[in-house]
Chain A
């Protein structure tokens, strides 16, 4: 069964450093998403991406964040200058459609720890 994959599974970085989180969405999906979950809190939407551009983003997704689909398979989230409060689990998700039946399938996540 196709699944979303993410690398790395864990990332430890120093405050102020740049990190890139990588995702390979399900191959025939067209919509891609990043969510995050701070420990003990709810899953929060960051950004959605369709047709090589951002289609929706949240207030969390400020200028420190960027997304890219550098090739036909990878989807990346870059945090330019990490802060302590960026420590969270980051989930990539993908869906075939964005309509009412557009089910989003989540990858296993990258646990980011900013020291």
Chain B
């Protein structure tokens, strides 16, 4: 059973629209959840993290966490072509230091 699952995409969204990226996880001991953006050939770049149920907003990005459903999502408002990248969901389990990554969702913003 995969620990962190993401739809690999590609997900195509028109410029200016809302992009919605989803992630599910299997370990109920999961404590905190991180969204990274990775451009092709580059390193993961931290967008934001969330560890409490509900929504957390940072600029055009909103992370949503539902621990009962073991589900975390990232919304990108007013999508820009520069948002085209692979979005990685990463999970940290209580007591561990490692991040467990999903395979990522490739997002393409269509001008």
A contact residues vs B (CB 8 Å cutoff): 31, 33, 35, 41-45, 48, 50, 55-56, 58, 89, 91, 98, 100-109
Contacts and interface: CB of A to CB of B under 8 A. Distances in A.
Contacts of A50: 97
A44 B101 CA distance: 7
Contacts, number: 59
A42 B102 contact: yes
Contacts of A101: 32, 49, 51
A28 B97 CA distance: 18
Interface residues of B, number: 24
A43 B101 contact: yes
B98 A103 contact: no
Given A91-B44, A100-B92, 7 more contacts: A41-B103, A43-B101, A45-B99, A100-B51, A101-B32, A101-B49, A106-B43
A20 B42 CA distance: 20
Interface string B96-111: 1111111110000000
A48 B92 contact: no
A56 B104 CA distance: 24
Interface string B16-48: 000000000000000110101000001111100
A108 B42 contact: yes
Contacts of A98: 97
B38 to A, nearest CB: 8
